[in-house]
């Protein structure tokens, strides 16, 4: 969403702030649905949130304050963060299945063994990183977060990982988005239009995706994200 808004000429902070609140609202329905189906591990959500939400609040307070927002480095930081997260997400999409298979092996690599032994600490650190990444780029609380959770909690079903990731994304994107809103970087008219347009678009997208093989969709998405990431990160 953020790269798309940038293509339409919206300023970087407005695109990110609006996208964050859009994500919080649209993901809320998914989180409720997954909760009703018992597909949310609230212990993991809590551990992630203990890292991500304080990180987002502190980032807004100490770094994204009014003095920094008036500097020439503000938009540069946001655009570089966006590019990095787009590239990282595309790489995660490429190696996601391999990472999960290695984590499921009887004798996984040493790094994965250490991750499994210190899951609570690793999950908290992951939440901390997600708080920073999502606040600066609006990206990370989706495919990226879910893929990493699949490695940390390799014995948990995929649908439960996805439900947990969505449930955590709601408060994180809401807090991060409110920070931009308070500083005047959310276009409420744009937000309303996006929400209205999402309803028919989701219906259409669901029908189209049923006709396209998963591997084809993944290749298209990965190529798009990688290309956009390179575009934004290169000078």
* Domain residue ranges of the chain, discontinuous segments joined by +: 2-233
Residue whose C-alpha is closest to residue 74's, from 158, 136, 151 = 136
**Are 179 and 56 a contacting pair, CB within 8 Å?**
yes
Structure tokens at 123: 């999950």
First-to-final CA distance of the chain: 22
**Are 175 and 53 a contacting pair, CB within 8 Å?**
yes
In angstroms, the CA 99 to CA 14 distance is 35
In angstroms, the CA 34 to CA 168 distance is 12
Structure tokens at 203: 């219906």
In angstroms, the CA 31 to CA 112 distance is 28
Instruction: Give 60's DSSP letter.
Output: I
Instruction: Give 140's DSSP letter.
Output: S
Q: pTM of the prediction?
A: 0.82
In angstroms, the CA 74 to CA 10 distance is 15
- What pLDDT score was predicted for residue 131? 94
Instruction: Give 38's DSSP letter.
Output: T
Low-confidence ranges of the chain (pLDDT < 70): 66-70, 99-116, 203, 206-207, 209-210, 214, 235
In angstroms, the CA 41 to CA 35 distance is 9
């Amino acid at each position: 969403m953020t790269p798309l808004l940038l293509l339409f000429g919206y300023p970087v902070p407005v695109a990110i702030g609006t996208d964050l609140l859009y994500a919080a609202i649209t993901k809320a329905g998914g989180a409720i649905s997954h909760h009703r189906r018992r597909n949310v591990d609230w212990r993991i959500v809590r551990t992630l949130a203990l890292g991500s939400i304080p990180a987002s609040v502190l980032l807004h307070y100490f770094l994204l304050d009014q003095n920094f927002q008036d500097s020439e480095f503000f938009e540069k930081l946001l655009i570089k963060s966006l590019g990095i997260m787009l590239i990282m997400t595309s790489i995660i999409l490429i190696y996601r299945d391999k990472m999960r298979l290695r984590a499921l092996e009887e004798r996984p690599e040493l790094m994965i063994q250490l991750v499994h032994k210190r899951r609570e600490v690793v999950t908290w650190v992951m939440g901390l990183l997600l708080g920073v990444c999502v606040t600066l780029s609006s990206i990370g609380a989706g495919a990226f977060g879910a893929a990493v959770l699949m490695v940390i909690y390799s014995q948990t079903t995929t649908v439960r990982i996805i439900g947990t990731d969505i449930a955590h994304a709601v408060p994180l994107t809401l807090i991060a988005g409110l920070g931009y809103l308070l500083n005047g970087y959310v276009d409420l008219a744009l937000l309303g239009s996006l929400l209205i347009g999402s309803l028919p678009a989701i219906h259409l997208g669901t029908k189209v995706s049923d006709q396209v093989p998963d591997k084809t969709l993944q290749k298209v998405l990965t190529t798009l994200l990688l290309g956009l990431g390179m575009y934004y990160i290169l000078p």
